[in-house]
Amino acid sequence: MRGLLSAALLLPVVLPGQVARDTTPPDRVFGVTEWQLARQKLEAEMTPDGFTVYIIADMEGLAGAVRNATEMRPEYRGGEPAHERFREELTDEVNAVIAGARAGGATQFVVNDGHGGTLFRNVLPDRLDPEALLIRGYPKPIVMSTGLNPMVDGLMIVGAHANAGSPGIIAHNFAFDSFTVNGVALNEAGIAAFIGGEMGVPFLLASGDDVLTAETAAMLGPIETVTVKTAFSGSAAAVLPPARVHRMLHDAAERAVRRARAGELKPLTFAAPYRVRLCLRRGYARDEWVRTTVGTFGGMTPDGAEGCFAMTTSSAEAVGNVLNEIEWTVLKP
Ligand SMILES: [Zn+2]
């Protein structure tokens, strides 16, 4: 009886209409298209001269977006038709940033679709600036910093949301309730800045709500920020109309590239070796399969509360790869 009960507990519980959990280990996927290879492939697509901007495109911080359950997800994942409208807005905001960066002297534009709600297929390729190179789809190594390399001259993020636990609109941070490097809390923009910073790539611009722009400027220094809305709760804000936001993004991106070319904006650096500490979101931390799987990645060891882990490494890209393995684990149905 006892044995039967234990065996039953080990079987995945699949309710009608649900998909059984895919337990393929991440190294089976990322051993094929792993992060170093993605970087080499992107470098081969790029021109080494000129000024290259790498733009991360998220959605929660877009002009007018306030509600995760509906506006950030397609209908087939429980969202509303409004998601399609925000895909247009996302593409328009990316285009505004590209146009401004171009006016400031940028010559090459890599766009990485950084919103997981549609498995990183949100930017509309048909509507995107014809000179951009778009990274879309999933799985892709290091999620929001795929292929990032020293040929990039500056990082930008549009549509960004504030850190987990903050009072911002749809605030979160990958799969984490907290993520620190050498004791410094980083949001998603900060994590990209950490990975880019090690390669000498400075972070130039972030747009989103007032909480996101304030916390990112505090983390990264005097970068250009565009505040597109003032958060009243996790799902209400005073929002600026898209047309005004597009003008602001254009002008800020132009200023950001000019300032970067003048050497005003410096890469974010930490003293190595880096001590990284992360705590999974409570829901994930309670999921034994997720917790134990995550505990096998990158030499991490349990640290403190359940679902909290620490690792020490001298490679920010390796941290990005662990983050990617965690994302791969938690994005499973
Ligand atoms: Zn997102």
What are 84-139's pLDDT values in tens digits? 999 999 999 999 999 999 999 999 999 999 998 788 999 999 999 999 999 999 88
pLDDT at 3: 42
Return the number of other C-beta atoms located less than 10 Å from residue 244's C-beta. Answer: 11
Distance 77 CA to ligand 1 centre (A): 14
pLDDT digits (tens, 9 = 90+) for 166-214: 999 999 999 999 999 999 999 999 999 999 999 999 999 999 999 999 9
- Which among 92, 18, 1, 21 is positioned nearest to 288, based on CA atoms? 21
pLDDT, average across residues 291-319 = 92
Which is more confidently placed, 27 or 263?
A: 263
pLDDT for res 31: 56
Q: Rounded to an integer, what distance in angstroms lies between the CA atom of residue 298 and that of residue 302?
A: 12
Distance 266 CA to ligand 1 centre (A): 26
267 C-alpha vs ligand 1 centroid, how far in Å?
24
Residue 328 C-alpha to ligand 1 middle, in angstroms?
A: 15
Model confidence pLDDT, tens digit, residues 289-304? 999 999 989 889 999 8
pLDDT of 8 above 50: no
Model confidence at 333, pLDDT cuts 50, 70, 90, reads low
In angstroms, the CA 34 to CA 141 distance is 6
Domain ranges within the chain, ordered by starting residue: 29-177+187-261
pLDDT > 70: what percent of the chain?
92
Q: Which residues make Cβ contacts (< 8 Å) with residue 181, sequence separation at least 6?
A: 194, 270, 274, 275, 276, 319
Q: Mind giving me the DSSP string for 77-100? A: GT--THHHHHHHHHHHHHHHHHHH
How far is ligand 1, taken at its centre, from the CA of residue 1, in Å? Answer: 46
Is the pLDDT assigned to residue 27 strictly greater than 60?
yes
Q: Mean of the per-residue pLDDT values for the chain?
A: 91
Task: Name the superfamily (CATH) of residues 29-177+187-261.
Answer: Dipeptide transport protein (3.40.50.10780)
Q: Given phi > 0 = left and psi -120 to 50 = alpha, else beta, which region is 259?
A: alpha
The DSSP secondary-structure symbol of 139 reads S
| pLDDT in the model for residue 77 | 80
Q: Which strand (E) or helix (H) includes residue 111?
A: strand 108-113
